[in-house]
Structure 1
Amino acid sequence: MERRDLEIFFALAEELHFGRTAQRLHVSQARVSQSIKQLERRVGAALFERTSRQVALTAIGRQLLEDTRPGYDLIRAGLARAVAAGRGLAAPLHVGFTSPLAGELVMSAAHRYRRDNPSAGEVHIHEVPLGDPFTLLRRGELDLLLAHHPVREDDLGTGDVLISDTRVLAVATRHPLASRGCVHLDELAGERLLAPSGPAPAYWLDHLLPRATPGGQAIERGAQAASRQELLTLVGAGRGVHPTAAHEARYYARPNVTYVPISDAPPLEYGLIWRAAAHTDRVRAFATAAADLVRHDNGPANVCAPCR
Structure 2
Amino acid sequence: MEHREIEIFLTLADELHFGRAAVRLRVSTARVSQMITRIERRIGAPLFERTSRRVELTPIGRRLRDELRPAYQQVQDAVDRAITAARGVRATLRVGFIGAASGRFVLDVAEAFRAEHVDCEVSLRENQFGEGLGPLRAGEIDVVLATLPARGARQPDLTAGSVLVEEAQLLAVSARHPFARRPSVSFSDIARTKVLRTPPAISDYWDQTLLPPHRLDGRPVERGPCFATTQEMLALIGADMGTYPVSTQFTSYYVRPDVAYVPIHDAPPYQRRLLWLSAAETARIRAFDRAAAALADVPAGSAPH
- SS at the partner of 2:141? coil
Q: Aligned partners of 1:106, 1:124: CA distance in 2, in Å?
A: 10
Alignment of 1:1-308 (within 5 A): 85=84, 90-121=90-121, 123-149=122-148, 150=152, 152-212=154-214, 218-295=220-297
Change (3 A) 1:226 1:82: closer
What is the CA-CA distance between 1:104 and the residue it aligns to? 1.8
| Contact persistence 2:147–2:273 (CA under 8 A) | yes
Change (3 A) 1:228 1:234: same
Identity of aligned residues (%): 37
- SS at the partner of 1:169? strand
Worse-superposed segment, 237-246 or 91-100: 91-100
Q: Which residue is 2:46 aligned to?
A: none
What is the CA-CA distance between 1:131 and the residue it aligns to? 2.8
Q: Aligned partners of 2:280, 2:206: CA distance in 1, in Å?
A: 22
Alignment length (residue pairs) = 219
- SS at the partner of 1:266? coil
What is the CA-CA distance between 1:293 and the residue it aligns to? 1.2
| Contact persistence 1:186–1:215 (CA under 8 A) | no
| Contact persistence 2:247–2:270 (CA under 8 A) | yes
- SS at the partner of 1:142? coil
Change (3 A) 1:296 1:203: closer
Q: Aligned partners of 1:278, 1:200: CA distance in 2, in Å?
A: 21
Provide Cα deviations, 1:145-204, integer angstroms capped at 9, x if missing partner.
111343522222111111210011111111111111111122222201113324115133
Structural RMSD (CA): 2.9
What is the CA-CA distance between 1:213 and the residue it aligns to? 6.5
Q: Aligned partners of 1:184, 1:218: CA distance in 2, in Å?
A: 17
Q: Structure 2: which 5+ runs fail to align? A: 1-79
- SS at the partner of 1:211? coil
What is the CA-CA distance between 1:289 and the residue it aligns to? 0.7
Q: Aligned partners of 1:297, 1:145: CA distance in 2, in Å?
A: 19
What is the CA-CA distance between 1:87 and the residue it aligns to? 10
- Give the number of the structure whose alpha-carbon radius of gyration is greater: 1
Provide Cα deviations, 1:26-60, integer angstroms capped at 9, x if missing partner.
xxxxxxxxxxxxxxxxxxxxxxxxxxxxxxxxxxx
- SS at the partner of 1:181? coil
Q: TM-score, normalised by structure 1?
A: 0.64
Change (3 A) 1:82 1:187: closer
Q: TM-score, normalised by structure 2?
A: 0.64
